[in-house]
């Protein structure tokens, strides 16, 4: 028989771990829903993705930075994936970019802060 204290700890840790696993979604999972926010910017998609990666708020899950930015030049697309949200940068032309945010578990305020950074990056206020 498991002592009561051990059983309580086991149940609590199981719930905590299952909650953490629930928060992290694949890019495909995140893109199955409509974007939570979109915007268009007067900036090249690669420069905008790099600037937002450099100056945006890093997302940590299990004390590890989870932001990963990948550029797909042949597709005119870049993605910043953080497990609980995804930013998709799409080239409209050489100087215009559409950004779509998909989120799960991340509060809208995190997405809004990234869009504030995007705005500053597109105006050249951040490196």
* pLDDT value at residue 66: 65
What's the pLDDT tens digit per position in 24-56? 678 888 888 899 999 999 999 999 999 999 998
Q: Round to the nearest angstrom and report the end-to-end CA distance of the chain.
A: 61
Q: Which pTM was predicted?
A: 0.76
Query: Taking a C-beta distance cutoff of 8 angstroms, is the pair 108, 115 a contact?
Result: no
Residues 120, 104: Cα–Cα separation, whole Å: 25
Cα(76)–Cα(79) distance, integer angstroms:
11
Confidence of residue 3 (pLDDT cuts 50, 70, 90): low
Q: Dihedral angle at the C-alpha atoms of 52, 58, 64, 69, nearest 10 degrees?
A: -10
Structural domains of the chain ordered from first start: 25-122 (3.30.310)
Distance separating alpha carbons of residues 75 and 98, to the nearest angstrom: 14
């Amino acid at each position: 028989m498991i002592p009561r204290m051990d059983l309580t700890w086991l149940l609590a840790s199981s719930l905590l771990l299952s909650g953490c696993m629930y928060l992290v979604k694949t890019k495909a999972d995140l893109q199955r829903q409509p974007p939570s926010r979109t915007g268009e910017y007067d900036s090249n998609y690669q420069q905008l993705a790099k600037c937002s990666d450099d100056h945006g708020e890093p997302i940590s899950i299990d004390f590890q930075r989870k932001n990963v930015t990948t550029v797909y030049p042949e597709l005119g697309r870049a993605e910043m994936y953080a497990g609980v949200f995804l930013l998709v940068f799409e080239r409209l032309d050489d100087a215009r970019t559409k950004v779509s945010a998909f989120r799960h578990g991340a509060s809208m305020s995190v997405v809004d802060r990234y869009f504030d950074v995007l705005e500053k990056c597109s105006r050249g206020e951040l490196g």
